[in-house]
Each structure stands twice: as C-alpha cells, then as structure tokens.
Structure 1
C-alpha cells in the first residue's frame, strides 16, 4: 500500500510519482500476498501455519486499498481478498481491539471492489459490536487497559471505514477517542508512555488529518504532534523498521494525502491549561498546575511523568525487586487485581509486584515452535500471549502508592511490603519488561545509572517524596517517621 501511495501521490522532489518501477513492485507485492495465503483465507505473521487474525486484517486493508489506488481488477487478487474477508467474518479479536478495528475498512473495501453485499454487512456488524466495547472514558481496551498509540490505530481504521462508507455513526465514537486522547498529548509533542497499557509513544496522524477541519481539538493535537520536539519526527525516527512496513508508513503517507490546507490552533490542549481529570475506567490521571503537566497511570502501579517548559522534567516508573534466585519483579504492570481509589486531589493504588520470567531464544525452542505452529495453527499465538504478555505471576511483595496534588507540587507516598527473600530494591527504568514490540526502542534515559535503594532488609519500606511543579528535575526527599529507608 505504501508503494501504491508513493506512486499516486505527487510528493515534491521525489522520483516516485507515476514511476513504472514503483507500480511493478506494488503489483508484485499483491501477487506475492495471494501466494502466501492459506486455503482458509488467513495469513501468517511470526510462524508458518499461524493463521493469524492481525496479519489477515491489516493486510486485507492494505491489499484492497492498493487495488483501489492502482485500479487493479486481477481476478486472482480479488479472490484472495474475498477469502480473507470470509476468514475475518468467522473470527474476531477480543484482547487487542485495534486489530478488530483493522478488519472493518478492509471488509468494506471488498464490497466496493466486488459488489458483494455480505462484505458491507459484515463491516457494519463488526463496527456495531466494536462500538459497544468503547469504555465510558472513550478508549478501546488493549490488553486490559488504555494505550494511546494503539488507540490511535483504532481511530485510524474506524475513520477509514467512515471515509469509505459514509457511516455517520463513526463520528461520535471518533470524537470520544479524541476527547480522551487529547489529555495525553504532552507539552513537547510526545505522547503516551509507560502509563499506558502497552507503553506505546506515538499517535498516528492520518485520522487527525481526516478530522482536523471539523474538530478544533483534533487540529490542535495534529499541530502539537507535528511541531513539538518530541512529536512525529522523534517517534518515527525511533520505530523498528518492521512497523514502518506494517502500517506506520502508509499512515504517514495517508496523512499527507488528507492533510488540511492549514491547521487552526485555536483550541488549547489540556497540557496547556489548568485541570485535574481522572479517568476511572482507564485508571489514568492528567493534572495541569502552574504550567506543569502531570500524567499518572494508577493502572500501571502509579507510573508518573511530569512535563514543564515543553520537556519532561521528572518521571517515576515504580520499583523492581530482585529475589535471592536473581528473579526480577516489577510494580509498573497492568494487573487486573490491583486496587485503585481516589478523592479529589488524592489518588491511591495498591498492587502486587509481578514476577517476570525471561525467555532465552535458542534453536531448540524455535524448532519446537515451528512444530507446534504446524500442529495447532491459530491456537499457538493465544498460548504464547499468555506466556509472554498476559503475565500476572506474583512477585515477593506489593506496593501501596498515594499521590496527593498540592498547590506547589505533588507528594508521592510509597509503602513496599516484602513477602519473600529479597536481596535488592531499585527504581525501575523506562524500558518495560512486558513484551510489546512496538514500544521497544532506545530512549536516552536508559543511559542513566540505576538507583539502588539503601535498604536495611526490613519487610516494610516507607518512602515519601515531594516534587515541585516548577522542578528542574530535582526532587526534595522528606523524612518519614518509622521509615526504613535512609
């Protein structure tokens, strides 16, 4: 699809537009796509015989859009599109809803290309089922919580369906996504982070371009993402190439195609105006005081990021503990059993540490996975997700964190209760231990020295800190009575 867009778009100072070689490559890609399709209509992503939902939904949209852009009427390609559509109708995705959203415009495109009414009906039915899953806060769940980057992917595919079908019911769903997401655009144009369920730090521009002329909020988000030092240029430089091929590049090219002639910045984003907004279902907090913007993921163990003067000046990703067998457990984890509560100005989370098991790749494991993929097909990926992503093993402790919003700053009060043989406690770094490939890329703060706590071996550790709104990156430590930490 990216090649088809390059062929069709009149990008200045490039050799791509109407270049016959680009056309040949795009057409060859379509024919290759038909040859790797399984007889049931599905495609593989990681393993042979995987029969995955995500490679089928994402590539069907890409293939059908390519057919539309290049006016492809090849019967073999169209038959593959029909087979993929039938597969998507028979299956659904319930954990990562962006993947379910991806199927909807692809199905409608199949109707536009072939005239098959059942494909249009299936697209509408999938949209109706998906819309019912939108949280009261406005997000769609990604692995048990709200994630800003993947939410933008959901928004992207829903608005593509809106563009293709003219279905006005999409509008209210999209507006609620934008309302929610606007709170997590940072002053420097960066977005998301470890406070989200999947740690992603991007927001696709193409859906905002489609909304910008009707929504001043979407236009303001687009303006900040494009102009901020931590915005689109920063996160597109950080992506793994796999995701550029996946959907990030054609989203960027579609943004150029849909871009408004000018961006109005009359709307003030939450990062620029005083507010205190807590999203109960998401477990996410956004506060602006004295020109500083604080983000907190209570659903992620109270993970914190503070922005001031258009840069991040403070962050806290909780704690990690190392047991006597050198196993690592983390407090910054999306757990279904964590307890959250709040009154105005005070927010609290009580969560267990999650024990992380690291899996070392080797030829034997790869061989076994190939055999399993052949034997059990589509059941392999749910099995691997349970082992790698949906981890809720108990670590040897729990964290109770309270955040109090005050006039001149905020106070963090932590109590760690250790329940096993622990040999070290240290402050977590930004790099997450959860398997989310799209959030795994280098960040400069990974070069910082890990701060190991001066711990006396007690089972209860109390720590209190105060962070001023105007901090330049330093925090004031406050002694707490009965604290076991110096």
Structure 2
C-alpha cells in the first residue's frame, strides 16, 4: 500500500463539478475514426498481410516493407469490441475482435527475429515504432482477454530488445512509452524483470525533466509531446500507485497549462518540435487532483466542439488518437479542484526559452529558443501566428530563423510599469533549410545500404539521418534581431498589445535576397507530427516584398508591427 500524497490530500479540501455535457465529445470523435481503421486493416485471412494496418504496404503496394507504427490501431479496435459504450455499434462484434487479434499477430509476424521492427526504412529497428506498437498491442491483448503463448513469447522478445537497445537523441515521450509498454508486458507475463526495466525507464524520464516542469524533446520543451509523456506517466501512476510520480506530474501539468490558448487550441510552432499533439487521457486521470489538468481536459473538449483542435488526419497519424479519446471518456472525472490554479501573468521560462503572458483573454507565447516564433491572442481579433522569417536568396537557396537553438543571445526585461512593459529580444543568424525529399535513386541506395551493411549500423545510420533532417544546422549570412514589447493594451481588445520590431541584416557582401516573408505555419526541421491542420494555419503569410530592395541596397532593414 502506498500512502496518499500531499497532492491528493490537497485536492480533497474542495472540489467542483465539471460539465458532463462535454464528456461525450471524446467518444464521438473517437468512434468517427473506427470505419477508417476498419478500412485500413487487411481483412483477408488468406493473405500473408492479414491484420496489417499499413495500407501503403498491403493495398497500394507503394512501400516495400510494413511500418509497425500503424499497428497502434489495434488498440481502438479492441476497445470498441470489448467495451459497452453509447453509440458503439461494434461492441461484441466477432469480426472486429478477429481483426484486432489479426493486427496483434501481424505486428509479431512482421518483427525482426530479435523482436525489433521498422518504421521509415528496412532494418531500421526503430525504437519509436517499437514502443508505440508494443504498448498498444499489449493493452489490446489484455482487453481481449487473450491467452496465446506465441504472442506472450513475442511480447517477451520485444521487451528484451527494448531493454538491450537505446536510440540516439533525447525523446522523453519515447522513453515514457517504453516504460508503459514494459509495464504492460510485466502484467501479462508476471515477470519482475520487465517491471524493473519499466521503473528504470521511468526514472530516466524523470531525470530528463527540467525544474520548470518540461520533459526534454531534442534538447528543448515541446508542449505537444509533453502531453504524450504525461499520459504515459499518469497511466503508470495508476497501475503502480507510485506516489513518487505525483510531484513530477504536478510540475509537468502546471507547465503544460501555460500553452492552452483562449480559443481552446493548444501548443504549436513555438515548441522545440512544433507539434500540436494533445493526449487527453492522462489529464483526465489527474483532473480530480489538478486544476491545471482539468483546465487542459476541458479546453480540449471545447476545442472539439468549436473545431479549433488540431486534426491528425493523414493515414500515418490518425491512429494515434482514437484509443486515447476512448480512454479519456471512460476515465472522465466528474469533479475537479474548486480553487483556480494561480499563475504569474507573465513568466519567462529561461530553460525552455519560452515567454508566456496570460492576462484574461490576452495570451502571448514567444519562443526565444526558436528565434522569436510566437502566437498572440487578443480579444475580438483573429489569433496571430508567426513561425519566423523565411528568405529565398537570388541563387534559389532558402533560409529560416526558426531553428531551435537554446544558445541564442536573449535579453529579457520584466515589466516595471505600464510605461516600461516587459521586453524580450533575441538575435542570431538564419540557417539554411533543405526541405529535402526522397528520389528514386536516394531511396534505392538507402534500401540497398540497409539490406547489406546498414542493418549492422543501426545507430550510426539514425544519427546521420537525424543530423541531415532534424538537428543539423548550417548558418546563413543573414541575421535577424527580433524585439518584443508586451504592451498593456485595453481589455476590450482595441489597440495594440504586442509590438514586434524585426531587424534583418545581410552579413556577407555576396548575399542578395529574392523574396522573404514572415510565415505562419512552416516547419524547417523534419517532425512527423508537425504540419497538421489547425485553423490558425490558414492565416496569411506576411509578404515582405516592399522591404527587399531596401535590404539589398542598404544591407539592413527594420520592420515594425503592432498587433
């Protein structure tokens, strides 16, 4: 028996009811995706691909191997088959159960002999796909009350591979998923070895948590992926009753609450990975004890009602969410702490490189770590998103200011009075952007290399690709200095509440600019979960054509905006 934590005791001091009318939005959003899942899975038991959810592989035949990330879709199928839910026409359906089981078995069958699996290229042995699919297939196995020694042997094989292997880069959400998957395997097998391994991965995640509350994602704070990590840790907390998770979860959720916007949208371009992810189940598990978690869950539900949520609608991404939505519905908390969470109106989180102002319906988030990428909300006006400066030079190359770099020169001055508002400035060079896509030759060489010697150099290949597509930077001789003033502004929304002064400098006599803009939704580094639809992405880019000639002639130009 674990003693109750101070967090839980505090929550019992006073609670308030939540609106039950919103709860069903979780379920309706999830059930709307089930037909798509049933269309994605190979339903023909006479084919070797029976149970595969990667339609590019088994149906279109445009991929030469199956990505196991898609097998995450077995969990929502198992949930709707095994759980009596309102408007759930798939409950108890024998064919849906059969397909969920087939999906688990295909995941096992498509794995390598050592238990690993692939995602983007053959013999990748991707830890990300391994942990997403493991926790989903293991949970589906439990929900369907299966008893299959062959699958248990596969779960052990996958868990053993996870214990013995790492991935390059610090991705807290992957490690949290690994911990949850290992814990599920421990429940299925009864093995303390896997329980100990799950605890070790959990401790690693906690060790990667900043004092500000965020979990590291490629060297920075990403509010979107933060919710994935919280979701896993909250599930682990419920399974293990380990109160040591309470304080890290409290700090994590309080940090996350800062990025719920007034229109109920969440996160975005200013995160280290620029994602819009929101996993609500972990918030529901914590909502009775945490006002911040309840605010986040209620905000997400309101976004489902108003359409301001992010839409993860492509074939690869959509399977991430339905199971989590169903779990959030099942564990919806009818109560929350009565007292609102207190927070400073303006906070500069130096470790994350994020400045947050929250004053009533006025909300501004600025990422100094990403060169001044920002979102700005003010009453009665359309939200403003600025993903940074993007420039094309006369030789056709493209450079951006948004690359994540916590080492940028930053100066923050807190507000002293209405006449001396809070100010932040950030400066640094732009970086060349590749926007690289595959070609038949590059794909052929990569696949040939992986099928020959690359399979023995898994980590080296991953590091090289990470450097080329994600973390690698090449400075450009163009410099941007972005200075912000957080103006008081009237509560009515009339008049400016944010002043932005951009100074663009050409630092080489050889560089000349063809065109430039302040983009609203571009992403330079490769991020699987970026580039999804959310209403703010339709905001027009700010074309800087009127400034190009002056910049080329004088080598420096300043653009002033009041928003």
TM-score, normalised relative to structure 1 = 0.90
Q: Which residues in structure 2 correspond to 1:391-410 (within 5 Å)?
A: 391-408=472-489, 409-410=497-498
Task: Tell me the equivalent position of 1:28.
Answer: 102
TM-score, normalised relative to structure 2 = 0.78
Q: Distance in 2 between matches of 1:83 and 1:311?
A: 55
Task: Tell me the equivalent position of 2:39.
Answer: none
Structure with higher RCO (Cα < 8 A, 6+ apart): 2
Q: Distance in 2 between matches of 1:152 and 1:218?
A: 10
Could you tell me whether the CA contact under 8 Å between 2:272 and 2:404 is conserved in 1?
yes
Could you tell me whether the CA contact under 8 Å between 1:320 and 1:425 is conserved in 2?
yes
**1:408-427: CA deviation from partner (whole Å, max 9, x where unpaired):** 32322222221241223322
Provide closer, same or farther for how the CA distance between residues 446 and 410 of structure 1 changes in structure 2, counting only shifts above 3 A: closer
Provide closer, same or farther for how the CA distance between residues 182 and 268 of structure 1 changes in structure 2, counting only shifts above 3 A: same
Q: Distance in 1 between matches of 2:395 and 2:107?
A: 47
The RMSD of aligned alpha carbons is 2.1
**1:385-430: CA deviation from partner (whole Å, max 9, x where unpaired):** 2111113111221111121223332322222221241223322232
Could you tell me whether the CA contact under 8 Å between 1:220 and 1:269 is conserved in 2?
no
Q: Mean alpha-carbon deviation: is it higher for 109-118 or for 305-314?
A: 305-314
Task: Tell me the equivalent position of 1:441.
Answer: 532
Provide closer, same or farther for how the CA distance between residues 290 and 464 of structure 1 changes in structure 2, counting only shifts above 3 A: farther
1:427 equivalent among 511, 518, 525: 518
Q: Distance in 2 between matches of 1:113 and 1:207?
A: 22
Structure 1 residue 415 and structure 2 residue 503: aligned?
A: yes
Could you tell me whether the CA contact under 8 Å between 1:321 and 1:422 is conserved in 2?
no
Could you tell me whether the CA contact under 8 Å between 1:223 and 1:263 is conserved in 2?
no
Q: Distance in 2 between matches of 1:19 and 1:236?
A: 31
Q: Distance in 1 between matches of 2:76 and 2:254?
A: 29
| Distance apart, 1:211 and its partner CA | 0.7
2:346 equivalent among 276, 281, 285: 276
Q: Which residues in structure 2 correspond to 1:132-281 (within 5 Å)?
A: 132-228=207-303, 234-235=308-309, 237-245=311-319, 247-260=320-333, 262-264=334-336, 266=338, 268=340, 275-281=345-351
Structure 1 residue 376 and structure 2 residue 446: aligned?
A: no
The DSSP-based 3-state class of the residue aligned with 1:300 is coil
Q: Mean alpha-carbon deviation: is it higher for 427-436 or for 58-67?
A: 427-436
Could you tell me whether the CA contact under 8 Å between 1:16 and 1:22 is conserved in 2?
yes
**1:139-195: CA deviation from partner (whole Å, max 9, x where unpaired):** 111122111111101111111221222222121111111100101000111011111
Q: Distance in 2 between matches of 1:267 and 1:37?
A: 50
Could you tell me whether the CA contact under 8 Å between 1:9 and 1:257 is conserved in 2?
no
Task: Tell me the equivalent position of 2:375.
Answer: 305
Task: Tell me the equivalent position of 2:9.
Answer: none
Task: Tell me the equivalent position of 1:107.
Answer: 182
Q: Distance in 1 between matches of 2:380 and 2:344?
A: 15
Task: Tell me the equivalent position of 1:470.
Answer: none
**1:108-127: CA deviation from partner (whole Å, max 9, x where unpaired):** 11111111111111111111
Count of aligned pairs: 462
The DSSP-based 3-state class of the residue aligned with 2:557 is strand
Q: Distance in 2 between matches of 1:430 and 1:371?
A: 35
Q: Distance in 1 between matches of 2:519 and 2:179?
A: 39
Q: Distance in 2 between matches of 1:123 and 1:65?
A: 15
Could you tell me whether the CA contact under 8 Å between 1:427 and 1:450 is conserved in 2?
yes
Structure 1 residue 88 and structure 2 residue 162: aligned?
A: yes
Provide closer, same or farther for how the CA distance between residues 430 and 268 of structure 1 changes in structure 2, counting only shifts above 3 A: farther
Structure 1 residue 362 and structure 2 residue 456: aligned?
A: no
The DSSP-based 3-state class of the residue aligned with 1:252 is helix
| Distance apart, 1:230 and its partner CA | 8.1
